[in-house]
Amino acid sequence: MTSKAETTTTTSKQSVPPPSIAPAGESHEFVTARDGTRLFLRTKSAGALEGRPTLLFCDGIVCDGFIWKYLWNAMADYPLAHFHYRGHGRSAKPADPDRIDIAAHAEDAFSVREHLGDPPCVIFGHSMGCQVALETYHLHPKKVRALILICGTFGNVTKTIRGVPVVDMILPKILAMAEKNPALVRAIWSRLPTEMTLSMALRSGDIDPERVRREDILPYLEHVKRVDFTMFLRMLRAAGEHTSEEYLADVKIPVLIVAGEKDTLTPPYLAQALAAALPNAELMIVPHGTHVAPLEQPDLVDEKIRSFLETALA
């Protein structure tokens, strides 16, 4: 069977970071975090129904919004807010280079909420963003109506990638090499062939070759090559050291957990464990879904989120 990744032309709307000029109905601005770091924020309220909470989107590491391509438009009858993490996308490098851990991102999310007037909100998280969403609720639970956690886990993520602690074991060595030879590592990282990376991801099953769209993945892979590789490794290490496990029982609000049946980065058993630990959680496992399930099966994911919100916000 021929995959969508092989057949879709590049004439379709591409999944790319927000343009420098905000589209109609969308606002782009900057928020100052508590430590002075400048954070990029995009919001959309045109078409939102009055009285609905703001949906706040928290990315995975070095994602910068690619994963929200379909949900951003599909959920436009709610007020929407999405920010770039410190050191990501159009946000500035952190004022303190060491403040790139989950708690720092959670505090930045709260700075965004304060900037918006601290409205009632539902926090979305994808991948590492699930940890950010849980930590944000833990630190600032007031006015958080629900959480939607997609293809992520509650913590120690480097110990469970592909179900084994290999990344946790080799990360210190890679990071030491990157810090010792940053220019060399950056040169190698930036020259990885995008087409080859996509082909490897499709062949390994990290992305569903039958459902993913080429134009949704290639821009992201190109983007990843431009990130500060050393910062990425340090942030990944921080995510691996963080866990929300000790306070999951205190998360009493409704939580929807969406997992990919074939997610190799955060295997579905982690979502099952998370659902079991939360007092008021609902679990959806996307058939054939991988770590980018919202891009592979957007209609299915959107339908489930809408159904959940109708109940959770009633």
CATH number at 250 reads 3.40.50.1820
User: How does residue 191 score in pLDDT terms, banded at 50, 70 and 90?
Assistant: confident
- Residue 133 pLDDT exceeds 60: yes
**Least confident range of 151-155, 164-168, 224-228:** 164-168
Q: What pLDDT shows up at residue 202?
A: 84
pLDDT of 183: 83
Residues 110, 103: Cα–Cα separation, whole Å: 11
Report how far residue 120's alpha carbon sits from residue 162's, in angstroms, rounded to the nearest whole number.
36
As a whole number of angstroms, the distance between CA 255 and CA 149 comes to 7
Q: Distances from the Cα of 212 to the Cαs of 2, 67, 86, 206, 299, in angstroms?
A: 12, 12, 29, 11, 13
Phi then psi for residue 137, to 5 deg, are -65, -40
pLDDT at 22: 78
Which is higher by pLDDT, 296 or 157? 296
Alpha carbons 161 and 211: distance in angstroms, whole number: 22
Mean pLDDT across the stretch 158-182?
83
The residue whose two tokens read 């993913």 is 212
State the residue range of the domain holding 183: 4-312
Backbone torsion region of residue 205, taken as left when φ is above 0, otherwise alpha when ψ lies between -120 and 50, otherwise beta:
left
Residue 20's pLDDT is 63
Domains identified in the chain, total number? 1
Mind listing the pLDDT tens digit for each residue in 4-44?
443 333 333 333 455 567 787 899 999 999 999 999 999 99
- pLDDT attached to residue 14: 35
Higher pLDDT, 176 or 110: 110
260-278 confidence digits (pLDDT tens): 999 999 999 999 999 999 9
Amino acid at 252: K
Q: Shortest CA distance to 113 belongs to which of 88, 137, 149?
A: 137
Average pLDDT on 108-116 reads 98
| Phi, psi of 258, rounded to the nearest 5 degrees | -115, 125
- Helix, strand or coil, per DSSP, at residue 67: helix
The mean of the pLDDT values for the chain is 90
Averaged pLDDT for residues 285-301 = 97
> In the predicted model, what is the mean pLDDT of residues 92-100?
93
Query: Residue 9: its pLDDT value, please?
Result: 31
pLDDT band at 259, cuts 50/70/90?
A: very high
- Where are the strands (E) in 151-275, listed by range? 255-260
Give the pLDDT of residue 23: 81
**Given a cut of 50, is residue 57 above it in pLDDT?**
yes
Specify the pLDDT at position 281: 98
- How do residues 193-244 score in pLDDT, each as one tens digit? 888 888 888 888 899 999 999 999 988 888 888 888 888 999 999 999 999 9
Cα distance between residue 83 and residue 67, in whole Å: 13
Q: Of the segments 87-96, 117-126, 225-234, which one has the largest average pLDDT value?
A: 117-126
- What is d(CA 198, CA 217) in angstroms, rounded to the nearest whole number? 8
Q: Centre a 10 Å sphere on the Cβ of residue 44 and count the other Cβ atoms it contains.
A: 22
Report the pLDDT value the prediction gives residue 165, as an integer from 0 to 100: 82
More confident residue, 90 or 189: 90
